[in-house]
Structure 1
Amino acid sequence: MLNELKRKFKKFPITISLIGICVVVYVISFVLFGEEMNTQEGLVMGAYNPLYVYYKHEIYRLFTANFIHFGLLHIAVNCYSLYGLGMFIEASLKTKKYVIVLLISALATTTLPFLLFLLNGFGAYSVSGGISGVIFGLIGALGALALKYRQVFMDVFKQLAPNVILMLVISFVVPSISMSGHLSGLIGGFVSTYVILNIKPKKKDPYRDLVN
């Protein structure tokens, strides 16, 4: 198993590292608070809340919130989703572009809801965290890839579409899940990937021969 993990890390270093960070942060929260955290404990670990960002100037929460999880099921589902989808997008975009998409997706997950808070007080008392916004960002990235390279990625996107719809429905129905965070991550991932794919490449487009 250790050899398999080393092989995966060598091939997909960013995705495996991202999962590793989430696991380490969860272990810390487990030691401090047990298997599940409440909202107050989540805030101690760096969860997102617009009041803390605005009044206490704790800007770091816009980023750290992506790496905390409120329970074992929460982190298990997210890491499982990130494992498969993340490796696929990492292989498709390559390291530098993948990192850019991850960062923009992570920041969009919290920054767009924060902008809504500044406009109309949206989500003033919400406390959120988790890597699921980034996962939605990767779904958005896959959508951008499918839009530009239909013959290569459209079938994969169609296979994933029902799961995406289900995840969005769950986000809407379950109050403890941040619908705005998921949608914001999705938008961030799609837009950043679409822009990256349409910047004139210095090297040969790796998918050009497959779609022409």
Structure 2
Amino acid sequence: MNSMLNRFLWKYKSFPITISLICLCILVYAMSFVWFGEEMNALEGLYFGGFNPVYIQLSHEYYRLLSANFIHFGILHLAVNCYSLYGLGLFIEKSLGLKKYLILILVSALTTTGLPYLFYLITGYGANVVSGGISGVIFGLIGALGALALRYKYIYMDIFKQLVPNIILMLIISFIIPSISLSGHLAGLIGGFVCTYILLMIKHQKHLIH
């Protein structure tokens, strides 16, 4: 028991943001489990802070742009996302450092819901959508890895190439299964890539100045 606790504390000290995100997702799911049981339907997800553009527009419930990232509709949904976040998040957190990684997480979370919301405002598409989950942020991490691979080809390109088949599969699944938000995944991917590329450019400019 002590060894497990010590291992957890070591992981937390080494990767505080990723471990905190996973713990937050588990805590939020535990709360939804108490209220609604093992799985939530769309209405329950909406009540619990899920993303819906109409509620944001008409009721000004802008907190949904962030809260939706941390709700999960079932134990499998939670487990898959936490596993993916753990595997990729530790690597990206170590590569970028705490400050840049935190910015990346926030931008990925907000673009995951923010870009689909803007798309709804322009086109009216997605009015009946209720979505949630940390998978958009995970796609943001994939986008971040893409930016790292583009800037530092000899270090990250091989790792990114190994992930490409999985990325394509995840996007196909997002397209085929209606309950998975393809727009959220693509938005997170774009947000993560653009955010990381800008952060790396700023870092490069600072090195040139110094």
Asked if Structure 1 and Structure 2 have the same fold, meaning a TM-score greater than 0.5 normalized by the shorter chain, the answer is: yes
Return the TM-score normalized by structure 1.
0.94
CA positional deviation for 1:23: 0.3
What is the match of residue 53 of structure 2?
50
Counterpart CA distance in 1 for 2:150 and 2:144 is 10
Question: Which of 3, 6, 9 matches 1:3?
Answer: 6
What does residue 124 of structure 1 align with?
127
CA distance in 2, matches of 1:68, 1:10: 25
The equivalent residue for 1:179 is 182
Classify the secondary structure of the residue corresponding to 2:189: helix
Deviations 1:85-126 (A, max 9, x none): 000000000000000010000000000000010001010000
CA distance in structure 1 between the aligned counterparts of 2:10 and 2:54, rounded to whole angstroms: 43
* Displacement over 3 Å in runs of 4+: 200-205
Identity %: 67
Residues 54-82 of structure 1: CA deviation (Å, up to 9, x unaligned):
00110000000000000000000000000
Q: Does 1:21 align with 2:24?
A: yes
Q: Partner of 2:34 in structure 1?
A: 31
Matched, 1:153 2:160: no
Report how far residue 3 of structure 1 moved. Answer: 1.3
CA–CA distance in structure 1, aligned partners of residues 68 and 203 of structure 2: 34
Alignment of 1:1-212 (within 5 A): 1-201=4-204
Gaps of 5+ in 2: none
Q: What is the total number of aligned residue pairs between the two structures?
A: 205
State how far apart, in whole Å, the 2-side matches of 1:125 and 1:96 are.
36
Q: Which residue of 2 aligns with 1:209?
A: none
**Aligned mates of 2:125, 2:106 — CA distance in 1:** 23
Report the secondary structure of 1:199's partner residue: helix
State how far apart, in whole Å, the 1-side matches of 2:186 and 2:28 are: 24
Letter of the 1:30 counterpart? F
Q: Whose helix proportion is higher, 1 or 2?
A: 2
Using structure 2 for the length normalisation, give the TM-score: 0.95
* Whole-angstrom distance in 1 between the partners of 2:115 and 2:109: 11
How far apart, in 2, do the equivalents of 1:174 and 1:43 lie? 19
Partners of 1:51 and 1:100 in 2: how far apart?
27
